[in-house]
Structure 1
Amino acid sequence: MDLGGRIFELIDMRSFSNLWYWIALAALWSSISHFVLGVPYDMVGRARRHGGQAMEDLNALVHIKTRRTLMVFDTSGVWIVAFLSFLVTLVLVSGFWFGVEFAQATGLLLCPLTLVGWMRLNLSRRIATQGIHGPDLCNAITRNRFYTQLIGMAAVFVTSLWGMYQNMSIGAVH
């Protein structure tokens, strides 16, 4: 057996039985929940507690990130949506029609992330059009974070169930 074959034999390259996949899944959802609109959530708590400069910093940072997000989406949103639609479709068809486990694992990451991205784009639009500032901004970010965490919990649960099913069905074949 060649070196490559020995490495693949030593390290299980199947996604759902690989520890690194589960570490990446946990790190992804932790990061997505902590950074709402690219702003660390601890800034929201600090702005609520202390107000003043902390609230001004939060307002400034959120509005900068919001304008940047909307500028990118307004200039190339059609291409972004087209590319993401193609990518998600490709991954889902490869994974669940053709049975490619890596594509299944990737699809179980991408689908909930697209939902979170859509929610954050809507929040950015609301912030820009309604001029949300101060405590209302903190509430909007907190609400978005809560829904992001709900989606994350559901995604991890579904991924865990699918991963266990895959591991048991592959184990039963061998």
Structure 2
Amino acid sequence: MQILNILLSLIDMRSFSNLWYWIALAVTWSTASHWVLGVPFDMVLRARRRGGASAEALLDQTRISTERLLGIGREAGMVLAVVIPFVLSVLVVLGFGYDMEFAQALALILVPLAVVWLISLRAAARLAPVLAAAPRPEAVAEALTHHRFRIQLIGIAAITATAFWGMMQNLRLSSFGIH
């Protein structure tokens, strides 16, 4: 019985007071800003510094990732355009309309990630013609860097909003004596 209590305290549904939620939030945004259009950002930095084979590898990886993203958009776009907003709407209504903290926590991670996915799809569509022609590695690296910056801005806004909301929730619940 003691082990069950320990496990349940680790998987606490009160997300904003749970360390695991904040770790997951940090890992999510760290990963989102490292993998830009499916290309690891260290590859972009290496291509800029070294050029040559590293620059060619960057172009190849960007071409593969861009085609993959656009393929997902073409093949599953209609289904994703219905399912993703539905799931996010359910989370937002359950979380903020019915005050379910776990749904709030998921919504505060997934809604900004959906925005990142949309701008990534748009960036992939803009990069595809450039990659089909004779691309300059510097131009591709610059486009990926700009896209990463936009992702980081969204991440900063999402983390800040989540921190403030989580702090308000924790203060509100602690003032009621709920633990």
TM-score range, shorter chain: over 0.9
| 1:66 matched residue in structure 2 | 66
Give the alignment's TM-score, normalised by structure 2: 0.91
Confirm or deny: 8 A CA contact 2:67 2:128 kept in the other structure: yes
Confirm or deny: 8 A CA contact 2:13 2:101 kept in the other structure: no
1:20-99 to 2 correspondence within 5 Å? Answer: 20-99=20-99
Pairs aligned (count): 173
Q: Distance in 1 between matches of 2:166 and 2:173?
A: 10
Runs of 4+ in 1 over 2 A off after TM superposition: 2-13, 129-133
1:163 to 156, 166, 174: 166
* Alignment RMSD (CA, Å): 1.7
Unaligned runs of 5+ in 2: none
Q: Distance in 2 between matches of 1:76 and 1:160?
A: 33
Cα offset for 1:13? 3.2
Q: Percent identity?
A: 43
Q: 1:9 to 1:136 in 2, by over 3 A?
A: closer
Q: Distance in 1 between matches of 2:3 and 2:94?
A: 24
- 1:57-86 Cα deviation digits (max 9, x unpaired): 000011011111111210110101111011
Give the alignment's TM-score, normalised by structure 1: 0.93
Q: 1:43 to 1:100 in 2, by over 3 A?
A: same
Cα offset for 1:120? 0.5
Query: Which stretch shows the higher mean deviation, 7-16 or 90-99?
Result: 7-16
Cα offset for 1:133? 3.9
